[in-house]
Amino acid sequence: MAHHFPIWNKVTACNYKSSKSWGSKDCAALDQYVGSSKSNSHLFAVMHTTRRAMRIDGQDVISFRLSIDGRPIKQAIFTDNNGRAGDLIKMEDLTTATT
């Protein structure tokens, strides 16, 4: 993986001899369809991953968030290393968060 993309997607499917991968800088979306064919399929899920710089408790951090169908699922917070993700601070499952 020669390119330095903050978001990296690796796809593995039974019909590939090896995995396929691609990267993105700030966001990536995957629309997944199900059915019997390309012409007879229906949107099943929209998966969206975002990256953004933010400040938490006075510390600059990089946040990655995964959402499915607009619902936040998981978040990873890293130290900000000159605009790049540094050390992992925490990984959270947002489906169990209480409001």
Residue 17 pLDDT class (50, 70, 90 cuts)? confident
Residues 6+ apart with CB under 8 A from 76: 63, 64, 88, 90, 91, 92
Domain boundaries, the chain: 25-93
pLDDT bucket at 51, cuts 50 / 70 / 90: very high
Summarize pLDDT for 53-62 with one digit per residue, the tens: 999 999 999 9
The per-residue pLDDT for 68 is 97
Predicted local distance difference test score (pLDDT) of residue 15: 85
Instruction: Identify the pLDDT of residue 97.
Output: 62
Query: Across the chain, what does the average pLDDT equal?
Result: 91
Question: What is the pLDDT at residue 9?
Answer: 86
Q: How far apart are CA 36 and CA 42, in angstroms?
A: 9
- Residue 49 CB contacts under 8 Å (≥ 6 apart), including other chains: 7, 9, 24, 27, 28, 29, 64, 65, 66, 67
Tell me the C-alpha distance between 80 and 56, whole Å.
11
pLDDT of residue 1: 46
The pLDDT assigned to 99 comes to 54
